[in-house]
Amino acid sequence: MVKSSPSEDETRTRARTRHAILDAAVEVLAKNRSAPLSQVAAEAGVARSTLQRYFAERADLVAALGDYAEELINEATERARVDEGTALEAFSRLASEYFALRKVALLAFEGESENSAQEEQDCGPGDLALYELVERGHEDGSIDPRITPLWAQQLLWSMLYSGWTYSSIARVPVFESHNMCVMSLVKALARERRD
């Protein structure tokens, strides 16, 4: 058995602590965007001074949540197995995986100003996988060729937002909102079948 070096253990411990702080921030700030950082530290099970070693200012933590959201989106994209089955089936799995990211996605994207939303965004691995998925759907005949990859991306995120808010507005269970969201997306992207 190979023992890890003290620096490897320290690195893993730091990564776990950082992850715990980010998860706690998602939980606390999703409920109250202006909650004190002491609440985040308590939720993470760390001292306020420990939180400040990782994120000196509130703005640093909020910025890190954007990166964390992207990391979780990339992991969800992998779990969706976007290369398996028809593109429309894969898109349905992708929407389901993304639906579970409600809290972190809303926090990460809530702070975008109108100007930053209009600026050209860098494409991350999740974006590229989605674009390729839509193009594959055009080729395999499962996704309407009139739906561009960028439109599919915009439709996905707007429909996810609608699904996330629908359960609280309509006072329905989250699974019902999830099912309606995914069904609506699949119907919107599906190639029309002519008999």
| CATH code of residue 50 | 1.10.10
Same domain, 107 and 180: yes
Q: For residue 10, tell me if it sits in a domain.
A: yes
Beta pairing partners, 93 = none
Residue 194 maps to a domain: no
Q: Judge if 43 and 100 occupy the same domain.
A: no
Do 48 and 120 share a domain, yes or no?
no
Residues 50 and 106 in one domain: no
pLDDT in tens, 52-90: 999 999 999 988 998 898 899 999 999 999 999 999 999
Nearest one of 137, 18, 13 to 71, comparing CA atoms: 18
- CA 177 to CA 172: how far, in whole Å? 7
What domain range includes position 28? 1-56
Q: Do 121 and 25 share a structural domain? A: no
37 and 107 within one domain: no
**Number of domains making up the chain:** 2
Q: Is residue 107 included in any domain, yes or no?
A: yes
Residue 121 sits in the same domain as residue 48: no
pLDDT value for 126: 87
Q: Are residues 52 and 106 in the same domain?
A: no
Confidence of residue 11 (pLDDT cuts 50, 70, 90): confident
Whether 148 and 81 map to the same domain: the answer is yes
pLDDT at 4 > cutoff 70: no
Spatial CA neighbour of 62 closest among 16, 27, 26, 114: 26
CB–CB of 77/68 below 8 Å? no
Does some domain include residue 195? no
pTM of the model: 0.80
138, β-bridge pairs: none
pLDDT digits (tens, 9 = 90+) for 121-176: 567 888 899 999 999 999 999 999 999 999 999 999 999 999 999 988 999 999 99
User: Could you give the 3-state DSSP secondary structure of residue 143?
Assistant: strand
Do 8 and 79 sit in the same domain of this protein?
no
Amino acid letter, 107: L
